[in-house]
Structure 1
Amino acid sequence: MRLTPSLLLASLLPLFAGCQTFSEPPRDPNIGTTRLQGELSATGGQLLFKPCGESRHFIVRDAAGTGVLQEAANLADGANDRLFADLRGRLTGNKQANTDGQLDVSKLYRVEPSTQACEDPNFKQLTLRASGQGPAWDLKASGKGMVIDREGQQPLPLPFLEEQMPGGGLSLTSEANGQRVELWVAPQRCVERSSGSLRHLGAELRIDGQTLQGCAYYGGARDN
Protein backbone atom coordinates (compact mmCIF):
# COMPACT_ATOMS: atom_id res chain seq x y z
CA MET A 1 0.00 0.00 0.00
CA ARG A 2 1.31 3.39 -0.95
CA LEU A 3 0.73 6.30 1.43
CA THR A 4 -0.25 9.63 -0.02
CA PRO A 5 1.47 12.73 1.45
CA SER A 6 -1.66 13.61 3.44
CA LEU A 7 -1.93 10.10 4.93
CA LEU A 8 1.79 10.05 5.70
CA LEU A 9 1.54 13.35 7.59
CA ALA A 10 -1.49 12.12 9.53
CA SER A 11 0.36 8.96 10.57
CA LEU A 12 3.28 10.98 11.92
CA LEU A 13 1.20 13.41 13.99
CA PRO A 14 0.98 11.11 17.07
CA LEU A 15 4.76 10.67 16.96
CA PHE A 16 5.32 14.42 16.87
CA ALA A 17 2.85 14.89 19.72
CA GLY A 18 4.69 12.28 21.79
CA CYS A 19 8.04 13.95 21.17
CA GLN A 20 6.61 17.29 22.26
CA THR A 21 5.23 15.74 25.45
CA PHE A 22 8.56 14.20 26.46
CA SER A 23 10.54 17.34 25.64
CA GLU A 24 8.52 19.58 27.95
CA PRO A 25 10.53 20.57 31.05
CA PRO A 26 9.18 19.41 34.44
CA ARG A 27 6.89 21.91 36.14
CA ASP A 28 8.36 23.70 39.15
CA PRO A 29 6.07 22.88 42.12
CA ASN A 30 7.07 26.16 43.83
CA ILE A 31 5.63 28.38 41.09
CA GLY A 32 2.92 30.61 42.53
CA THR A 33 3.90 29.86 46.13
CA THR A 34 5.82 31.84 48.75
CA ARG A 35 8.00 30.77 51.64
CA LEU A 36 6.79 32.37 54.86
CA GLN A 37 7.79 32.44 58.51
CA GLY A 38 5.42 33.36 61.29
CA GLU A 39 3.31 32.41 64.27
CA LEU A 40 0.72 29.66 64.49
CA SER A 41 -2.19 29.86 66.92
CA ALA A 42 -5.47 28.01 67.35
CA THR A 43 -8.71 30.00 67.49
CA GLY A 44 -12.28 28.75 67.25
CA GLY A 45 -11.22 25.29 66.16
CA GLN A 46 -9.05 26.65 63.34
CA LEU A 47 -5.31 27.08 62.96
CA LEU A 48 -4.25 30.64 62.10
CA PHE A 49 -0.95 31.86 60.67
CA LYS A 50 0.42 35.38 61.30
CA PRO A 51 3.49 36.25 59.17
CA CYS A 52 6.52 37.66 61.00
CA GLY A 53 6.25 41.43 61.50
CA GLU A 54 2.62 41.58 60.29
CA SER A 55 -0.79 41.86 61.90
CA ARG A 56 -2.64 39.84 59.24
CA HIS A 57 -4.01 36.39 60.09
CA PHE A 58 -4.67 33.58 57.60
CA ILE A 59 -6.61 30.36 58.06
CA VAL A 60 -4.28 27.41 57.49
CA ARG A 61 -5.35 24.72 55.03
CA ASP A 62 -3.10 21.73 54.45
CA ALA A 63 -3.33 21.63 50.65
CA ALA A 64 -0.58 19.04 50.10
CA GLY A 65 -0.83 16.66 53.05
CA THR A 66 2.15 18.17 54.90
CA GLY A 67 0.73 17.30 58.33
CA VAL A 68 1.02 20.89 59.57
CA LEU A 69 -2.28 20.75 61.48
CA GLN A 70 -1.33 17.60 63.38
CA GLU A 71 2.24 18.76 64.00
CA ALA A 72 0.98 22.01 65.50
CA ALA A 73 -1.48 20.12 67.69
CA ASN A 74 1.30 17.83 68.91
CA LEU A 75 3.55 20.73 69.94
CA ALA A 76 0.97 23.10 71.44
CA ASP A 77 0.12 22.82 75.13
CA GLY A 78 -1.92 24.79 77.64
CA ALA A 79 1.02 26.91 78.78
CA ASN A 80 2.30 27.77 75.31
CA ASP A 81 -0.18 27.43 72.44
CA ARG A 82 1.69 29.77 70.09
CA LEU A 83 4.25 28.23 67.77
CA PHE A 84 6.72 29.33 65.14
CA ALA A 85 6.29 27.91 61.65
CA ASP A 86 8.41 28.05 58.51
CA LEU A 87 6.40 26.92 55.50
CA ARG A 88 5.60 27.41 51.83
CA GLY A 89 2.17 28.03 50.41
CA ARG A 90 -0.25 30.16 48.45
CA LEU A 91 -2.18 33.05 49.99
CA THR A 92 -5.78 33.32 48.83
CA GLY A 93 -8.78 35.42 49.85
CA ASN A 94 -11.88 34.25 51.66
CA LYS A 95 -15.04 35.75 53.11
CA GLN A 96 -14.68 34.54 56.67
CA ALA A 97 -14.88 37.28 59.28
CA ASN A 98 -11.87 38.25 61.42
CA THR A 99 -9.31 36.81 58.99
CA ASP A 100 -7.36 38.21 56.05
CA GLY A 101 -7.59 35.15 53.85
CA GLN A 102 -6.39 31.58 53.62
CA LEU A 103 -2.93 30.02 53.42
CA ASP A 104 -2.85 26.81 51.37
CA VAL A 105 0.27 25.06 52.70
CA SER A 106 2.28 23.06 50.16
CA LYS A 107 5.50 22.43 52.10
CA LEU A 108 6.45 22.37 55.77
CA TYR A 109 10.04 23.26 56.71
CA ARG A 110 9.75 23.42 60.51
CA VAL A 111 7.43 23.94 63.45
CA GLU A 112 8.78 24.74 66.91
CA PRO A 113 7.66 26.05 70.30
CA SER A 114 9.37 29.43 70.00
CA THR A 115 8.28 33.06 70.16
CA GLN A 116 11.73 34.40 69.23
CA ALA A 117 12.43 32.68 65.88
CA CYS A 118 11.01 35.62 63.90
CA GLU A 119 13.87 37.70 65.30
CA ASP A 120 16.67 35.38 64.12
CA PRO A 121 19.17 37.78 62.45
CA ASN A 122 21.05 34.97 60.65
CA PHE A 123 18.17 33.13 59.00
CA LYS A 124 18.18 35.04 55.70
CA GLN A 125 21.92 34.45 55.18
CA LEU A 126 21.84 30.71 55.89
CA THR A 127 21.49 28.06 53.19
CA LEU A 128 21.25 25.20 55.69
CA ARG A 129 21.20 24.60 59.44
CA ALA A 130 21.60 21.22 61.11
CA SER A 131 21.88 20.15 64.74
CA GLY A 132 21.70 17.13 67.01
CA GLN A 133 22.33 15.72 70.47
CA GLY A 134 24.63 13.18 72.14
CA PRO A 135 26.96 15.10 72.07
CA ALA A 136 25.30 18.40 71.17
CA TRP A 137 26.33 19.82 67.80
CA ASP A 138 25.18 22.60 65.47
CA LEU A 139 26.15 23.41 61.87
CA LYS A 140 25.38 26.62 60.00
CA ALA A 141 26.11 26.87 56.26
CA SER A 142 26.03 29.98 54.09
CA GLY A 143 27.67 31.41 51.00
CA LYS A 144 30.74 32.18 53.14
CA GLY A 145 31.30 28.61 54.35
CA MET A 146 30.11 26.55 57.28
CA VAL A 147 30.70 26.72 61.01
CA ILE A 148 30.45 23.65 63.24
CA ASP A 149 29.84 24.06 66.96
CA ARG A 150 30.29 21.02 69.20
CA GLU A 151 29.88 20.62 72.91
CA GLY A 152 33.15 21.31 74.72
CA GLN A 153 35.03 22.44 71.58
CA GLN A 154 35.85 25.69 69.81
CA PRO A 155 33.77 26.66 66.74
CA LEU A 156 35.20 25.12 63.55
CA PRO A 157 34.87 27.29 60.39
CA LEU A 158 35.37 25.43 57.10
CA PRO A 159 34.91 25.92 53.35
CA PHE A 160 32.72 23.26 51.75
CA LEU A 161 31.61 21.66 48.52
CA GLU A 162 27.87 21.15 48.04
CA GLU A 163 26.43 18.30 45.98
CA GLN A 164 22.83 17.43 45.17
CA MET A 165 21.92 13.79 45.83
CA PRO A 166 19.25 11.56 44.26
CA GLY A 167 15.87 11.77 45.95
CA GLY A 168 16.22 15.41 47.00
CA GLY A 169 19.14 14.91 49.39
CA LEU A 170 22.18 17.12 49.80
CA SER A 171 25.78 16.67 50.94
CA LEU A 172 28.29 19.20 52.24
CA THR A 173 31.90 18.05 52.35
CA SER A 174 35.17 19.68 53.40
CA GLU A 175 38.78 18.47 53.44
CA ALA A 176 40.38 21.63 54.80
CA ASN A 177 43.42 21.26 57.07
CA GLY A 178 43.67 17.54 56.25
CA GLN A 179 40.38 16.86 58.04
CA ARG A 180 37.44 15.33 56.18
CA VAL A 181 34.00 16.49 57.29
CA GLU A 182 30.75 15.28 55.72
CA LEU A 183 27.17 16.36 56.29
CA TRP A 184 24.37 14.40 54.65
CA VAL A 185 20.75 15.54 54.69
CA ALA A 186 17.67 13.92 53.19
CA PRO A 187 13.94 14.80 53.07
CA GLN A 188 12.14 13.16 55.99
CA ARG A 189 10.11 14.05 59.05
CA CYS A 190 12.65 14.66 61.81
CA VAL A 191 11.94 15.62 65.44
CA GLU A 192 14.61 17.18 67.65
CA ARG A 193 14.94 15.26 70.89
CA SER A 194 15.75 18.31 73.02
CA SER A 195 12.78 20.49 72.07
CA GLY A 196 10.37 18.34 70.10
CA SER A 197 10.70 20.76 67.18
CA LEU A 198 9.88 19.40 63.73
CA ARG A 199 12.34 19.67 60.82
CA HIS A 200 11.86 18.64 57.19
CA LEU A 201 15.32 17.05 56.80
CA GLY A 202 17.15 14.28 58.59
CA ALA A 203 20.90 14.92 59.05
CA GLU A 204 24.07 12.91 59.61
CA LEU A 205 27.40 14.57 60.45
CA ARG A 206 30.64 12.60 60.07
CA ILE A 207 33.61 14.23 61.79
CA ASP A 208 36.69 13.04 63.73
CA GLY A 209 35.71 9.42 63.25
CA GLN A 210 32.26 10.03 64.74
CA THR A 211 28.86 9.76 63.08
CA LEU A 212 26.36 12.12 64.69
CA GLN A 213 22.64 12.09 63.97
CA GLY A 214 20.31 15.09 63.91
CA CYS A 215 17.78 17.17 61.99
CA ALA A 216 18.11 20.04 59.52
CA TYR A 217 16.22 22.67 57.56
CA TYR A 218 16.95 24.99 54.64
CA GLY A 219 17.78 28.58 55.53
CA GLY A 220 16.29 31.70 54.00
CA ALA A 221 19.04 31.98 51.35
CA ARG A 222 17.81 28.77 49.66
CA ASP A 223 14.46 29.12 47.86
CA ASN A 224 13.27 25.51 47.53
Structure 2
Amino acid sequence: MRASRIFCFALLPLLASCQVFTEKTAEPESEQTRMQGELSLSAGQLLFRPCREQRQFIVNNAGATGLSSDANNLFSIGHSTLYVDMRGQLQANAKTSVDGQFVPSQVYRVQAEGQGCSDINFARTMLRASGREPQWSIAVSNQGMVFNRVGQEPQALPYLEEQLPEGRLSLSSEANGQRLELWVAKQRCVDSMSGAVQHMSAELRLNGDVLRGCAFLGGARND
Protein backbone atom coordinates (compact mmCIF):
# COMPACT_ATOMS: atom_id res chain seq x y z
CA MET A 1 0.00 0.00 0.00
CA ARG A 2 2.79 2.43 0.89
CA ALA A 3 4.50 1.75 -2.43
CA SER A 4 1.28 2.54 -4.24
CA ARG A 5 0.95 5.88 -2.46
CA ILE A 6 4.53 6.81 -3.28
CA PHE A 7 3.94 5.94 -6.93
CA CYS A 8 0.80 8.09 -7.11
CA PHE A 9 2.50 11.11 -5.54
CA ALA A 10 5.43 10.68 -7.89
CA LEU A 11 3.04 11.02 -10.82
CA LEU A 12 1.54 14.31 -9.61
CA PRO A 13 4.15 16.55 -11.29
CA LEU A 14 3.70 14.64 -14.55
CA LEU A 15 -0.08 14.94 -14.38
CA ALA A 16 0.17 18.64 -13.61
CA SER A 17 2.46 19.19 -16.57
CA CYS A 18 0.05 17.29 -18.85
CA GLN A 19 -2.81 19.49 -17.67
CA VAL A 20 -0.89 22.67 -18.46
CA PHE A 21 -0.02 21.37 -21.90
CA THR A 22 -3.67 20.48 -22.65
CA GLU A 23 -4.91 23.90 -21.61
CA LYS A 24 -2.40 25.67 -23.86
CA THR A 25 -3.32 23.66 -26.94
CA ALA A 26 -7.04 24.30 -26.34
CA GLU A 27 -6.73 28.11 -26.42
CA PRO A 28 -7.12 28.53 -30.23
CA GLU A 29 -10.37 26.53 -30.09
CA SER A 30 -11.91 29.15 -27.77
CA GLU A 31 -11.51 31.72 -30.54
CA GLN A 32 -13.75 29.73 -32.87
CA THR A 33 -17.23 31.16 -33.46
CA ARG A 34 -20.22 29.34 -34.90
CA MET A 35 -22.30 31.57 -37.15
CA GLN A 36 -25.19 31.23 -39.58
CA GLY A 37 -26.03 33.52 -42.45
CA GLU A 38 -26.23 34.26 -46.13
CA LEU A 39 -23.52 33.29 -48.59
CA SER A 40 -23.15 35.10 -51.92
CA LEU A 41 -20.61 35.28 -54.72
CA SER A 42 -19.04 38.51 -55.99
CA ALA A 43 -16.21 38.64 -58.55
CA GLY A 44 -15.29 35.06 -57.70
CA GLN A 45 -15.11 35.79 -53.95
CA LEU A 46 -17.43 34.24 -51.36
CA LEU A 47 -19.10 36.83 -49.09
CA PHE A 48 -20.79 36.01 -45.79
CA ARG A 49 -23.50 38.09 -44.10
CA PRO A 50 -24.57 36.80 -40.64
CA CYS A 51 -28.28 36.33 -39.96
CA ARG A 52 -30.10 39.57 -39.06
CA GLU A 53 -26.94 41.65 -39.52
CA GLN A 54 -25.65 44.14 -42.06
CA ARG A 55 -21.99 43.22 -41.58
CA GLN A 56 -20.32 41.43 -44.46
CA PHE A 57 -17.19 39.29 -44.41
CA ILE A 58 -14.93 37.82 -47.05
CA VAL A 59 -14.71 34.04 -46.67
CA ASN A 60 -11.04 33.04 -46.81
CA ASN A 61 -9.52 29.57 -47.11
CA ALA A 62 -12.95 28.11 -47.85
CA GLY A 63 -11.38 25.42 -50.02
CA ALA A 64 -9.89 23.71 -46.97
CA THR A 65 -13.38 22.79 -45.73
CA GLY A 66 -14.87 22.06 -49.15
CA LEU A 67 -17.16 25.10 -48.85
CA SER A 68 -15.93 26.68 -52.11
CA SER A 69 -16.73 23.58 -54.13
CA ASP A 70 -20.08 22.93 -52.48
CA ALA A 71 -21.19 26.56 -52.79
CA ASN A 72 -20.10 26.82 -56.41
CA ASN A 73 -22.08 23.69 -57.25
CA LEU A 74 -25.23 25.31 -55.86
CA PHE A 75 -24.50 28.68 -57.48
CA SER A 76 -24.00 26.94 -60.83
CA ILE A 77 -27.61 25.69 -60.91
CA GLY A 78 -29.07 29.16 -60.61
CA HIS A 79 -29.06 30.08 -56.93
CA SER A 80 -27.81 33.59 -56.13
CA THR A 81 -27.68 33.28 -52.35
CA LEU A 82 -27.21 30.33 -50.00
CA TYR A 83 -27.69 29.62 -46.31
CA VAL A 84 -24.55 28.50 -44.48
CA ASP A 85 -23.92 27.32 -40.93
CA MET A 86 -20.21 27.20 -40.07
CA ARG A 87 -17.60 27.55 -37.37
CA GLY A 88 -14.39 29.54 -37.71
CA GLN A 89 -12.50 32.69 -36.86
CA LEU A 90 -13.47 36.31 -37.46
CA GLN A 91 -10.44 38.32 -38.48
CA ALA A 92 -9.59 41.79 -39.73
CA ASN A 93 -9.21 42.46 -43.44
CA ALA A 94 -7.56 45.38 -45.23
CA LYS A 95 -10.43 45.87 -47.67
CA THR A 96 -12.64 48.83 -46.77
CA SER A 97 -15.67 47.40 -48.57
CA VAL A 98 -16.10 44.63 -45.98
CA ASP A 99 -16.12 44.33 -42.19
CA GLY A 100 -13.41 41.69 -42.04
CA GLN A 101 -12.95 38.08 -43.01
CA PHE A 102 -14.24 34.75 -41.80
CA VAL A 103 -11.94 31.72 -41.94
CA PRO A 104 -14.06 28.55 -41.61
CA SER A 105 -12.78 25.42 -39.91
CA GLN A 106 -16.05 23.43 -39.94
CA VAL A 107 -19.08 23.68 -42.21
CA TYR A 108 -22.23 22.18 -40.72
CA ARG A 109 -24.58 22.93 -43.59
CA VAL A 110 -24.84 24.83 -46.88
CA GLN A 111 -28.13 24.89 -48.77
CA ALA A 112 -30.27 26.91 -51.16
CA GLU A 113 -33.66 25.77 -49.87
CA GLY A 114 -35.27 25.68 -46.45
CA GLN A 115 -35.99 28.15 -43.67
CA GLY A 116 -32.42 29.29 -43.18
CA CYS A 117 -32.17 32.36 -40.92
CA SER A 118 -35.93 32.31 -40.32
CA ASP A 119 -35.83 28.92 -38.56
CA ILE A 120 -37.03 29.87 -35.07
CA ASN A 121 -36.41 26.35 -33.72
CA PHE A 122 -32.72 26.19 -34.70
CA ALA A 123 -31.39 27.49 -31.37
CA ARG A 124 -33.32 24.80 -29.45
CA THR A 125 -32.47 21.96 -31.82
CA MET A 126 -29.77 19.49 -30.81
CA LEU A 127 -29.86 17.34 -33.94
CA ARG A 128 -31.89 17.20 -37.11
CA ALA A 129 -31.87 14.35 -39.62
CA SER A 130 -33.89 13.76 -42.78
CA GLY A 131 -34.11 11.56 -45.83
CA ARG A 132 -36.10 11.00 -48.98
CA GLU A 133 -37.92 8.18 -50.80
CA PRO A 134 -39.88 7.99 -48.58
CA GLN A 135 -39.54 11.38 -46.93
CA TRP A 136 -38.82 11.39 -43.21
CA SER A 137 -37.30 13.74 -40.67
CA ILE A 138 -36.31 13.68 -37.02
CA ALA A 139 -35.80 16.73 -34.81
CA VAL A 140 -34.14 16.23 -31.44
CA SER A 141 -34.15 18.69 -28.55
CA ASN A 142 -33.79 18.39 -24.79
CA GLN A 143 -37.59 18.00 -24.71
CA GLY A 144 -37.51 14.80 -26.75
CA MET A 145 -37.63 13.57 -30.32
CA VAL A 146 -40.19 14.43 -33.01
CA PHE A 147 -40.48 11.93 -35.86
CA ASN A 148 -42.15 12.97 -39.12
CA ARG A 149 -43.13 10.67 -41.97
CA VAL A 150 -44.87 11.66 -45.16
CA GLY A 151 -48.62 11.10 -44.92
CA GLN A 152 -48.61 10.66 -41.13
CA GLU A 153 -49.02 12.87 -38.09
CA PRO A 154 -45.80 13.91 -36.28
CA GLN A 155 -44.90 11.66 -33.34
CA ALA A 156 -43.29 12.96 -30.15
CA LEU A 157 -41.11 10.20 -28.71
CA PRO A 158 -38.82 9.71 -25.72
CA TYR A 159 -35.33 8.54 -26.64
CA LEU A 160 -32.05 7.21 -25.34
CA GLU A 161 -28.75 8.52 -26.69
CA GLU A 162 -25.42 6.75 -26.86
CA GLN A 163 -22.24 8.60 -27.79
CA LEU A 164 -19.85 6.51 -29.85
CA PRO A 165 -16.21 6.98 -30.93
CA GLU A 166 -15.29 9.43 -33.72
CA GLY A 167 -18.24 11.70 -32.98
CA ARG A 168 -20.90 9.14 -33.91
CA LEU A 169 -24.26 9.08 -32.15
CA SER A 170 -26.98 6.50 -31.69
CA LEU A 171 -30.52 7.48 -30.66
CA SER A 172 -33.19 4.89 -30.01
CA SER A 173 -36.86 4.87 -29.03
CA GLU A 174 -39.49 2.22 -28.43
CA ALA A 175 -43.02 3.61 -28.30
CA ASN A 176 -46.40 3.25 -29.97
CA GLY A 177 -45.61 -0.31 -30.98
CA GLN A 178 -42.55 0.55 -33.03
CA ARG A 179 -38.77 0.53 -32.55
CA LEU A 180 -36.74 3.38 -33.98
CA GLU A 181 -32.96 3.65 -34.16
CA LEU A 182 -31.11 6.63 -35.61
CA TRP A 183 -27.38 6.36 -36.30
CA VAL A 184 -25.41 9.45 -37.34
CA ALA A 185 -21.73 9.78 -38.23
CA LYS A 186 -19.44 12.65 -39.15
CA GLN A 187 -19.42 12.17 -42.89
CA ARG A 188 -20.16 14.72 -45.62
CA CYS A 189 -23.65 14.07 -46.96
CA VAL A 190 -25.34 15.53 -50.05
CA ASP A 191 -29.09 15.66 -50.62
CA SER A 192 -29.53 14.11 -54.07
CA MET A 193 -32.54 16.31 -54.93
CA SER A 194 -31.69 19.76 -53.53
CA GLY A 195 -27.89 19.56 -53.57
CA ALA A 196 -27.76 20.69 -49.92
CA VAL A 197 -24.65 19.57 -48.06
CA GLN A 198 -24.64 18.56 -44.39
CA HIS A 199 -21.75 17.44 -42.23
CA MET A 200 -23.24 14.15 -41.02
CA SER A 201 -24.75 11.07 -42.62
CA ALA A 202 -27.80 9.40 -41.08
CA GLU A 203 -29.26 5.92 -41.07
CA LEU A 204 -32.76 5.33 -39.71
CA ARG A 205 -33.78 1.80 -38.76
CA LEU A 206 -37.52 1.57 -38.34
CA ASN A 207 -39.14 -1.78 -37.54
CA GLY A 208 -36.50 -3.58 -39.59
CA ASP A 209 -36.49 -1.14 -42.53
CA VAL A 210 -33.35 0.90 -43.23
CA LEU A 211 -33.70 4.49 -44.50
CA ARG A 212 -30.74 6.76 -45.24
CA GLY A 213 -30.31 10.50 -45.19
CA CYS A 214 -28.26 13.43 -43.87
CA ALA A 215 -28.01 15.18 -40.50
CA PHE A 216 -26.56 18.21 -38.75
CA LEU A 217 -26.08 19.43 -35.20
CA GLY A 218 -28.45 22.26 -34.25
CA GLY A 219 -27.72 25.43 -32.34
CA ALA A 220 -28.21 23.75 -28.96
CA ARG A 221 -25.31 21.41 -29.49
CA ASN A 222 -21.77 21.76 -30.83
CA ASP A 223 -19.39 18.99 -31.79
TM-score for the superposition, normalised by structure 1: 0.86
SS at the partner of 1:167?
Answer: helix
Aligned equivalents of 2:134, 2:77: Cα separation in 1: 31
Cα deviation for residue 179 of structure 1 reads: 2.8
- Which region of structure 1 is more displaced relative to structure 2, 79-88 or 49-58? 79-88
Residue 34 of structure 2 is aligned to residue 45 of structure 1: no
Of the structure 1 ranges 175-184 and 159-168, higher mean CA displacement relative to structure 2 is found in 175-184
Report SS of the residue matched to 2:65: coil
Q: Is the 8 A contact 1:37 1:52 kept in 2?
A: yes
Mapped contact 1:62–1:68 kept (Cα < 8 A): no
Query: CA shift at 1:81, angstroms?
Result: 1.8
User: Structure 1 or 2: larger helix share?
Assistant: 2
Alpha carbons 1:64, 1:107 under 8 Å: kept: no
Could you tell me which runs of 5 or more consecutive residues in structure 2 were left unpaired when the two chains were aligned: 1-10
Partner of 1:106: 105
Cα shift readout 1:3-55 (whole Å, capped 9, x = no counterpart): xxxxxxxxxxxx99866665554754742111100011111221110000011
Q: Which residue of 1 aligns with 2:217?
A: 218
**Counterpart code for 1:51:** P
Mapped partners of 2:63, 2:133: distance in 1: 34
Indicate yes or no: 2:172 matched with 1:199.
no
Change beyond 3 A, Cα 1:130–1:115: closer
- Which residue pairs with 1:55 in the alignment? 54
* Residue 135 of structure 2: aligned partner: 136
1:166 matched residue in structure 2: 165
Taking structure 2 as the reference length, the TM-score comes to 0.86
Paired with 1:131 and 1:63, the residues of 2 have a C-alpha distance of 26
1:176 alignment partner in structure 2: 175
> When the two structures are aligned, how many residues end up with a matched partner?
210
Identity %: 49
Q: CA RMSD in A?
A: 2.2
CA-CA distance at 1:139 after TM superposition: 0.6
Partner amino acid, structure 1, of 2:206 = I
CA 1:126–1:117 in 2, change beyond 3 Å: closer, same or farther? same
Amino acid at match of 1:136: Q
- Is there any run of 5+ residues in structure 1 with no aligned partner, and where? 1-14
Task: Say which is worse superposed, 78-87 or 190-199, in terms of deviation.
Answer: 78-87
Which structure: larger Rg? 1
Q: Could you tell me how far apart the structure 1 residues matched to 2:187 and 2:204 are?
A: 16
Q: Which residue of 2 aligns with 1:77?
A: 76
2:90 aligned residue: 91
Structure 2 residue matching 1:180: 3-state secondary structure: strand
Q: CA deviation at 1:157?
A: 1.2
Q: Which moved more, 1:167-176 or 1:49-58?
A: 167-176
Question: Contact conserved, 1:60 with 1:104, CA < 8 A, in 2?
Answer: yes
Is 1:203–1:215's contact at 8 Å kept on the other side of the alignment?
yes
Q: How far apart are 1:63 and its partner, in Å?
A: 6.5
